[in-house]
Structure 1
Amino acid sequence: MVNTMRETDGYTEEQLQLEAMKEQIEQIAVPEEIDEAIRNGMRLGRQRRRRRRLTRAASYVACLLILASVASIRFSPTVAAYVGDIPGLRSLVELINYDKGLKLALENDYMQPVGLSEEHDGIQLKVDGIIADESRIIVFYTLNNMDGRKRIVNLGEVKLVNYEHASSDFGSSNFSEDWHSKQGTFEFNSHDEVGIPETLDLEIKVGEGVEASATAPVWKFSVPVDKTRFDGMKETYPIDQTVTVEGQRITFGKMTVYPSRVGLEVAYDPANTKKIFAFDDIRLEDELGETFGTITNGVSATTLSDGRQILYFQSNYFRKPNHLYLRASSIRALDKSKLEVKVDVDQKQLLSRPDDRMTLTGNAFTGEEDLNALVIRLKNEDPRDKNFHYFLFQTDYKDASGQVFQSNRMGSTTGEYQYYIKKANYKGPLTLTIADYPSRIKR
């Protein structure tokens, strides 16, 4: 995207570049399969102003197949070349390369250009565009270091003040001292499917360093939303199928397909003897073998209540498969009787634990301000967990009197986990509750 907003004969430089990009796109020889996808997108556009009914003869068929082998997600190099070689769009493709559904949305002209900018103290923040539907909003931004000074810049607080039904997520925001231009995304997730307003009142704090960003002035953007782009672009399918894995019953309910993601309701039988944490390598697969994995850079699930979740997948909205299968290699789960870990603070010992892979290291308590760090080692040689860092425990913990406390800080390194607790006169032992653990079940 361009970094300035100069006016040229009544048009901004950004508008002129977009027009040039449009001409380039029109001259590109588009492969047949992509051309067909674009025609499908155009047909969808003509239908956006009315609610679409599910009249297709072919229906989704969803099932859970626990497989020993793992299928990999195949990204289309043709799409990457088609979009990535166009000046100005290449950087957007790189930003969402982790999400196949968002790439399809961009290919189908689903992004809404915005082009708003503000500049304070030599830093320019531009809102380039948005991808939005009833479930999710992704805001694309560019941060420019206009005067070239060396400084560490941090994005502190990001929120939509007129859309309280959404939570935000914006990944890494700390920029090093020597930088010129950085691009990124803000993500807002809707929990209640409340209608998105006509204008998004976006507020962002940008400061030099973490402390400065907390007290920095608020940058405000009023981002217009063209709701006709996604009006009626949602498809809902009742799955209502129950599978049993090692005696554990799992029911898959309603599946909702949006342009930005797919949401699948899942419920775990209260009579299950194990606590189910997560599915390994769960993905959607169509009849042609094309797969759409879970959301890996953003919100991957929403907890509705105890034992009920919505799992989020990359969207196949623009693919329109005839059949859809839900596949996973295994499920992380642990006996409910092993969920509590008891810690003797004075003796620095684990009085109860899931298995002998978990130990408390000798330097268990490390002073830091008003906190102590419980340092726990977990021996785990499973190759599936090689690059995975577990949040081992829930934030709540309690002492022997039943008083509940909260840990607001956790950390991990390879095989070692830090759980910070307040310095206090606890009535021992402390009880921590397992939130995730590398033990698995298979069909």
Structure 2
Amino acid sequence: MYKNEEDKLEQWKKQIEERPISEIRLEQAIKNGFERGRLGKSRKNKRIYKRSIWSVFVAAILLITLVTSIRVSPVFANAIASIPGLERFVEFIREDKGLESAMNNEYYQELNLTSEKEGVTLTLKGVIADEEEMVLFYTLNGARKDEVFHLGLSDITDRKGNDVMRWGSATPDPISFETGKELAVKINIGFKEGVNESEFILKATAKSTEREIDFDIPFSLAKEKMPTTRYLVNETVSIEGQKVTIQQIEISPLKVAISIRTNPNNTKIIFGFEDLRLMDENGEMWTSINGITSSGTENEDEKIYYLESNYFENPEELTLMFNKLQAMDKDEAYILIDTEKEVILEQPADQRYSIQDIKKGYLEFLLKSEEGYHTSPFNSFIDAEGKEVSFTSGSFSSNGDDTAVIGMDFPKGPFVNPVKLPLHGYPQWIEGNVKVKINIR
């Protein structure tokens, strides 16, 4: 590439980075999307997924990304260059410093296994796996003229057919491709407890309006799974009077898992950490992973948060930091509605919710939101007789300003009005400056 062209691309890249566009990280439920594939459902997906600015401009600036990767990380550039066909996954890898580090340290296993049916080919390019989870890279191509496919992961099993998947997350989602195009997909799956297998079967289904094709690709892990490193912390900190305890930090090749417990005597319910991060002695930061950012535990006061992995960096010092928590008063953390009268009876004092649409089996809210809020707030409702029922599906969409649309599908079956919807997210925050030193020696 000529020097002046490269300089122009760098200037354009810098201008894009400086634009005040916030990243949206949609917290995904466990096995989000995969249950649809497992149950054979094909409901129209109403979510609007707002990726980072890189996703918006990816078609135009992929070349810039590659140029920058070569200059900033020669090891990464060499790793990608040595693996044919992996160029399509550069964006996914660059979004996660843990994946990039795994590549740099030759922890990626190339597979290039294919399954072809009815002129459609699924290719499992490669895998990265540790004791806790596995990342799969695969492509799909071969659609007919004017045919659009949707690709869903059905399952990951061992060679005996036993399910090994505890949760899963796909990028991109929803997944589709058209004639003449190749779809590149990254799948993260978490292993069930006690899974020590090295031989698996990938089961995926490609659907169009004309046909449905099931693929099975057996594969083996040739590289040994590297062990997880665990640090016991047990340090309690306070932010605006609300206490949280950092219990444990687990660092594996693919992610950092931070176990955090909130004090049950807190006056506020804490929904999540907006800027949880790890910093080493050189000021290098590891932040939230795109996709699954947290998961619950059996204890409602405990939650596990996930960050990019620094497993291969061998830092001498580590500091856990955060400044902003999504939180609200516990006694306001619900909405009470009457679905028959189509009215909101009770809601938080700032009156952010209004009913947008309501009909049999479906409810849609309009939320006066704020920049930085991107959480779908409802999982279930409790009817007037105390029966708790989970919604069959939900959606969250934002147009980038101060409004969001939240939709929910009610399950079939009777329930008694009014119904109470506990909140699992709300555009209110508490702020402070928390730093916790981690003893890693």
TM-score scaled by length of structure 1: 0.73
AA of the residue aligned to 1:199:
E
Q: Relative to structure 1, is the Cα distance of residues 97 and 334 closer, same or farther in structure 2, using a 3 angstrom cutoff?
A: same
User: In structure 1, what is the Cα distance between the partners aligned to 2:180 and 2:188?
Assistant: 23
- The alpha-carbon distance between structure 1 residues 423 and 154, as it changes in their structure 2 partners (threshold 3 A), is closer
Identity of aligned residues (%): 26
Aligned to 1:111: 108
Counterpart in 2 of 1:167?
167
Match of 1:21 in 2: none
Q: Is the 8 Å Cα contact of residues 304 and 310 (structure 1) preserved in structure 2?
A: no
- Counterparts of residues 12-411 of structure 1 (less than 5 Å): 78-79=72-73, 81-83=77-79, 88-145=85-142, 149-162=145-158, 163-164=163-164, 166-171=166-171, 172-192=173-193, 194-209=194-209, 212-213=211-212, 216=213, 218-228=214-224, 230-231=225-226, 233-298=227-292, 300-361=294-355, 363-367=356-360, 371-373=361-363, 375-381=364-370, 383-385=371-373, 388=374, 390-394=375-379, 396-411=380-395
CA distance in 1, matches of 2:244, 2:182: 47
Tell me how far 1:191 sits from its aligned partner: 4.9
Letter of the structure 1 residue corresponding to residue 198 of structure 2 = E
Q: Confirm or deny: 8 A CA contact 2:262 2:301 kept in the other structure.
A: yes
**For residues 156 and 84 of structure 1, what CA distance do their matches in structure 2 show?**
26
CA distance in 2, matches of 1:276, 1:205: 38
Aligned positions, number: 351
Deviations 1:396-430 (A, max 9, x none): 21221223333112223332222232576643211
AA aligned opposite 2:420: T
Cα distance change on mapping 1:422 and 1:190 into 2, 3 Å: closer
Distance 2:362 2:305 in 1: 35
SS in 2 for 1:166: strand
Find the aligned partners of 1:405 and 1:234 in 2 and give their Cα distance. Answer: 37
Q: CA deviation at 1:235?
A: 1.5
Deviation at residue 364 of structure 1 after TM alignment? 3.3
Per-residue CA deviations over 1:299-338 (Å, capped at 9, x if unaligned) read: 5434342111221110011111111111223101121111
**Structure 2 CA distance, aligned partners of 1:198 and 1:81?**
29
CA contact (8 A) 2:394 2:409 kept: yes
**Residue 54 of structure 2 aligns with which residue?**
none
Sort the Cα spacing of 1:407 and 1:392 in 2 relative to 1 into closer, same or farther, 3 A.
same
SS of match in other structure, 1:95: helix
| In structure 2, distance between residues paired with 1:185 and 1:124 | 16
Provide the C-alpha distance between the structure 2 equivalents of 1:167 and 1:417, rounded to a whole number of angstroms: 24
Distance 1:222 1:423, change over 3 A: closer
Output the CA distance in 2 between the equivalents of 1:358 and 1:169: 31
Question: Is contact 1:152-1:176 (8 Å) kept?
Answer: yes
Q: What whole-Å deviation, never above 9, does each CA across 1:278-315 have from its counterpart, x for those lacking one?
A: 00121111121111111112454343421112211100
TM-aligned CA deviation for residue 349 of structure 1: 2.1
Whether contact under 8 Å (2:200, 2:220) holds in the other structure is: yes
Shift of 1:242: 0.8
Question: What residue in structure 2 maps to residue 41 of structure 1?
Answer: none
CA distance in 1, matches of 2:196, 2:312: 22
Name the SS for the 1:356 alignment partner. Answer: coil
2:56 match: none
- TM-score when normalising by structure 2: 0.73
Deviation at 1:157, TM superposition (A): 3.8
Partner secondary structure for residue 421 of structure 2:
strand
Is the 1:98–1:297 Cα contact (8 Å) retained in structure 2? no
In the alignment, which of 396, 402, 423 is matched to residue 434 of structure 1? 423
Unaligned runs of 5+ in 2: 1-67, 433-441
Structure number with larger C-alpha Rg: 1
The residue number in structure 2 matching 1:39 is: none
RMSD: 2.4
Partner Cα distance (1:243, 1:122) in 2: 58
Distance 1:331 1:424, change over 3 A: same
Structure 1: runs of 5 or more not aligned: 1-74
Q: 1:157 to 1:183 in 2, by over 3 A?
A: closer
